[in-house]
Amino acid sequence: MGKIKQRNWLIIITIFLVIVSGAGLFLSIQQKLSFNSCAYGENVYRSGDDIPAYNGRDECKCNADGTIKCNDSTDELTYSGYSSQNLKFTYQYINFLTDQALLTEEVESNSASYINGVLKVSFERNALCTNDEIAPTQSGLYELSSEDLKLSIMTNTDATKYVAPCKILNSFEISGLDIALDENFQIYYQSDNGNLESLGACVEDNTLYGDQEVFKSKKTSSICICKVGTISCKEL
């Protein structure tokens, strides 16, 4: 009888250890896959955590579905559908802006290309930097479909650190793609308030051109220019 009781206790302990191990494994996988978490700047926040100085807004929290909610708006700031897979994102300081009035969410296209499965986009925008010419910490995200590419950036706007109006350069490089670009394909930048602004890219014969880029047409003997999403050509 004593051996039977001992065997039963061993079975119970074994089951308990399996359950604990399984729960630990689930939590580990959950954390690695970023379930119930939000990313901002260099940090990852769990559901319910406060996110300090989120894009200059107060009392923001991480929701269980990965969205960020602030008390000053009924709108949820969400990056649902956005990804950073196969993305190389960089940012750098360009120069200070001397006029405070220039500190608007102004975006200016720099370049765009799609070659050998690698899509590259860069643009300049206004932000707040440190007084010693350091750009704010940023994280890039994108959402790609057959119709368009949406780019978004989570920027640290700590008002105690980033105080000087400046212009910065953001570059996105997405690799491992196999897509056919439609001639109506557009590239957008999604601002911190959720607005979409076209970067004015153009597509001709599955070739991507940035706004104001001059190129020789592959279809005709013309020199063309991409102007705010429209291609204008002139015969040679």
User: What is the mean pLDDT for each group of 10 consecutive residues in the chain (236 residues)?
Assistant: 58 67 51 59 79 73 78 62 95 88 77 97 95 95 94 90 94 96 94 88 94 92 94 91
- What was the pLDDT predicted at 43? 77
Element (H, E) at 52: none
Which pTM was predicted? 0.70
- What was the pLDDT predicted at 63? 82
- Asked whether 69 and 61 are in contact (CB, 8 A), the reply is yes
Nearest one of 184, 90, 188, 176 to 142, comparing CA atoms: 188
Nearest one of 141, 195, 128, 131 to 168, comparing CA atoms: 128
CA distance 235 to 224: 9
- Asked whether 44 and 58 are in contact (CB, 8 A), the reply is no
Tell me how far apart the terminal alpha carbons of the chain are, to the nearest angstrom: 101
Pair of tokens at residue 123? 């643009």
Q: Cα 79 to chain center, whole Å?
A: 8
- What was the pLDDT predicted at 171? 98
Amino acid identity, position 170: N
